[in-house]
């Protein structure tokens, strides 16, 4: 299978797990079978533009985001935090930042 399909499959899996979705739940929401989604995630099957559209809409992302290489570790953590706070009010975001800042400032220094 082409590297692009493998890359897209990995990104789909990354976005799915970021959102805490099982393969079964994403497949149900995107109206495809779990086995087909598993094949896509492993890069063993090509997906149509229509299927890509259904998956991206379900994941609330854009097709071009799934066509980019996997993110570096820091960027992935930033996206996880942003996803958690996305639908929250500014007040909640500010509170979460203060809590995170307090936690981080009390962590031991790393090399």
For residues 45 and 92, membership in a common domain is answered with no
pLDDT value, residue 13: 94
- Work out the pLDDT band at 1, boundaries 50, 70, 90: low
Per the domain annotation, does 44 fall within a domain?
A: yes
CA separation for the pair 42, 108 (Å, rounded): 38
- What's the domain range around 98? 73-105
- Are 10 and 60 members of one domain? yes
For the chain, the domain total comes to 2
In a domain, 111, yes or no: no
Residues of the chain with pLDDT > 90: what percent? 48
pLDDT of residue 22: 96
- Any domain includes 25: yes
Per DSSP, 94 falls in state H
Question: Is 100 in the same domain as 62?
Answer: no
Q: Higher pLDDT residue, 63 or 1?
A: 63
Q: How many CB atoms lie within 10 A of CB 55?
A: 25
- The rounded distance, in Å, linking the Cα atoms of 16 and 110 is 30
Q: Do 7 and 43 reside in the same domain of the chain?
A: yes
pLDDT recorded at residue 87:
82
pLDDT digits (tens, 9 = 90+) for 69-98: 665 556 767 777 887 888 889 999 899 888
pLDDT score at 83: 78
Nearest Cα to Cα of residue 26 among 2, 77, 61 = 61
Query: Does one domain contain both 61 and 101?
Result: no
For the stretch 16-56, pLDDT in tens is 998 889 999 999 999 999 999 999 999 999 999 999 999 99
Residue entry with tokens 């109206």: 31
């Amino acid at each position: 299978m082409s590297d692009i399909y493998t890359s897209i499959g990995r990104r789909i899996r990354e976005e799915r797990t970021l959102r805490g979705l099982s393969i079964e739940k994403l497949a149900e929401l995107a109206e495809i079978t779990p086995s087909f989604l598993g094949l896509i995630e492993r890069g063993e099957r090509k997906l149509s533009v229509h299927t890509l559209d259904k998956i991206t809409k379900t994941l609330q992302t854009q097709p071009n985001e799934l066509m980019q290489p996997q993110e570096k570790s820091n960027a992935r953590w930033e996206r996880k935090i942003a996803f958690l706070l996305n639908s929250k009010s500014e007040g909640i975001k500010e509170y979460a930042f203060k809590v995170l800042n307090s936690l981080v400032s009390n962590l031991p220094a790393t090399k």
